[in-house]
Amino acid sequence: MSSDAALYLDACATTPLLPQVQDAMALAQRDAWANPSSLHGFGLAASESLERARLQLGRYLGTVANAVLFCSGATESIDLALLGAAAQLQPGRLLISAVEHPAVVAAAQRLARRGWQLQRIPVDRQGRINLVALEALLEPPTRLVSVIWGQSEVGTVQPLETIGNLCRRHGVLLHSDAVQLAPHVPIHFDQLPVDLLSLTAHKLGGPRGIGCLLVRPGLELQSRLGGGAQERGLRAGTEPVVLAAGFAAALEVAQRAHTNGEAQRVERMRNRLLAELTQLDQVQLSGPDPALSPRLPHHISVMVQNRRGGWLPGRQLVRALWRQGIAASSGSACSAASGGPAASPVLQAMGFDAAQAASGLRLSLGPWLQESELGRVCLALDAAIARCGSEAPDP
């Protein structure tokens, strides 16, 4: 299948670079290519461009420029948030939700090896955090909490403000992975009861290789890398000025999408496609029904059966859909790429058994799509179900 004729329904994995981002990056590459630490005019131009991008990001995210720390992406941002904050605390209990991205799980496991007690906050069948359990767990020795705001695999949006207020009441630091939410919901960091927030550019039409950590002013972090004193001494390494310009341009487009109707258009397309897909007898929604509970507005996740009632492996369905020109995903992109576990730990944490947890299929939409193109998705899934049901199981 040529990717020209294909439909890209995998925005949660990454997004195509926006033309506005390409333009901003070309300009920065031309005028601000030098090292921002250099004292000559070339360096000053690079430094100005970097600080302009930081200022813009701060403005779009409802905070001051100083709160924005650039880094290579959300994985690094999460690592810096959790390990950098924990290094300033006595080891105690660290809570993470049972539905975190592997980047948070990996950072938390490192802390566990350094003497922290790692505990998962349970979730319900829709992936929503059990707030009663959370409140009970916030007693000492809990010192740090990390919660994914918009869940990448099943679309659940957590009540971050409520969670943050609970953490504040107990004097516990809160980090949130806002990677999937940031492209779709305006963020006002200074108004959120959250201490650390991780974002990445490539989920919102920006370049890969840059993200940021928003840090509540006054909060002490320990740097993870030795070397230069860039990013207020918290992230050594020559700053990616051109990528920062692209990140700022991408956020600007995302902001405008809320006022020019584009964000609402994507959500309407999602709602229609979701309604069509769940008409199929073999398809069951996973994560919240957006009519009843908050869900990422571009996100569809389902579990799929064959016509005899057995659960179909999501990875087989993804291949069968791609043969028809539809790019979708099973589970998180990271575990899929590494050939990771077939049964999704996220779906298992939500109470599904191993066979059902291996049958996850995710379709995530973006502004590059037109409603008229989506008509063939449901037919393609129906054909994929028929085809997979008659094939040998995935190895």
Ligand X SMILES: Cc1ncc(COP(=O)(O)O)c(C=O)c1O
- Closest to ligand X by CB, 121 vs 384, is 121
Residue 75 is a binding residue for ligand X (CB under 6 A) = yes
Residue 333 is a binding residue for ligand X (CB under 6 A) = yes
Q: From the CA atom positions of the chain, what is the Rg in Å? A: 21
Sole window of 69-77, 125-133, 154-162, 296-304 interacting with ligand X (rule: CB under 6 A): 69-77
Residue 97 is a binding residue for ligand X (CB under 6 A) = no
Burial class of 350 by CB neighbour count within 10 A (0 to 12, 13 to 18, 19+): buried
Per-residue contact flags (x/-) with ligand X for residues 341 to 380, judged by CB under 6 A: ----------------------------------------
- Closest to ligand X by CB, 146 vs 230, is 146
Among 103, 221, 242, 245, binds ligand X (CB under 6 A): 103
Q: How far apart are CA 273 and CA 251, in angstroms?
A: 26
The size of the chain, in residues, is 395
Query: Closest distance between ligand X and the C-beta of residue 251, in Å?
Result: 14
Query: Closest distance between ligand X and the C-beta of residue 386, in Å?
Result: 31
Query: Closest distance between ligand X and the C-beta of residue 71, in Å?
Result: 9
Query: Closest distance between ligand X and the C-beta of residue 73, in Å?
Result: 3
Sole window of 68-76, 84-92, 108-116, 239-247 interacting with ligand X (rule: CB under 6 A): 68-76
- Closest to ligand X by CB, 34 vs 157, is 157
Q: How far apart are CA 316 and CA 50, in angstroms?
A: 44
- Closest to ligand X by CB, 292 vs 337, is 337
Residue 334 is a binding residue for ligand X (CB under 6 A) = yes
Interaction residues for ligand X, span 149-208 (CB under 6 A): 152, 177, 179-180, 200
- At which residue do the structure tokens 């590059």 appear? 368
334 is catalytic: yes
Query: Closest distance between ligand X and the C-beta of residue 90, in Å?
Result: 27
Answer for the pair 176, 146: CB distance below 8 angstroms, yes or no. Answer: yes
Query: Closest distance between ligand X and the C-beta of residue 105, in Å?
Result: 11
- Closest to ligand X by CB, 73 vs 367, is 73
Total of chain residues touching ligand X, rule CB under 6 A? 14
Residue 101 is a binding residue for ligand X (CB under 6 A) = yes
Q: How far apart are CA 369 and CA 259, in angstroms?
A: 19
Q: How far apart are CA 340 and CA 159, in angstroms?
A: 29
DSSP structural state of residue 313: P
- Own/partner long-range contacts of 388-391 (Cβ < 8 Å, ≥24 apart): 388/306, 388/312, 388/313, 388/316, 388/317, 388/320, 389/306, 389/307, 389/308, 389/310, 389/312, 391/316
Interaction residues for ligand X, span 229-288 (CB under 6 A): none
Q: Dmax over Cα atoms in the chain, in whole Å?
A: 71
- Closest to ligand X by CB, 194 vs 388, is 194
Q: One of 71, 334, 378, 388 is an active-site residue; which one?
A: 334
Q: How far apart are CA 233 and CA 147, in angstroms?
A: 26
- Own/partner long-range contacts of 258-263 (Cβ < 8 Å, ≥24 apart): 258/186, 262/367, 263/184, 263/297
Burial class of 351 by CB neighbour count within 10 A (0 to 12, 13 to 18, 19+): middle
Sole window of 72-80, 114-122, 155-163, 358-366 interacting with ligand X (rule: CB under 6 A): 72-80
Query: Closest distance between ligand X and the C-beta of residue 314, in Å?
Result: 16
Residue 329 is a binding residue for ligand X (CB under 6 A) = no
Closest CA to 13 of 201, 152, 151, 127: 152
Question: Which positions ≥6 away from 75 have C-beta within 8 Å?
Answer: 103, 211
Query: Closest distance between ligand X and the C-beta of residue 301, in Å?
Result: 13
Answer for the pair 73, 211: CB distance below 8 angstroms, yes or no. Answer: yes
Cα 296 to Cα 270, 299, 364, 376: the distances in Å are 10, 5, 9, 23
> How many CB atoms are located within 10 Å of the residue 145 CB?
26
Among 9, 11, 53, 74, binds ligand X (CB under 6 A): 74
- Closest to ligand X by CB, 334 vs 355, is 334
Binding site for ligand X (CB under 6 A): 73-75, 101, 103, 148, 152, 177, 179-180, 200, 211, 333-334
Active site residues: 334
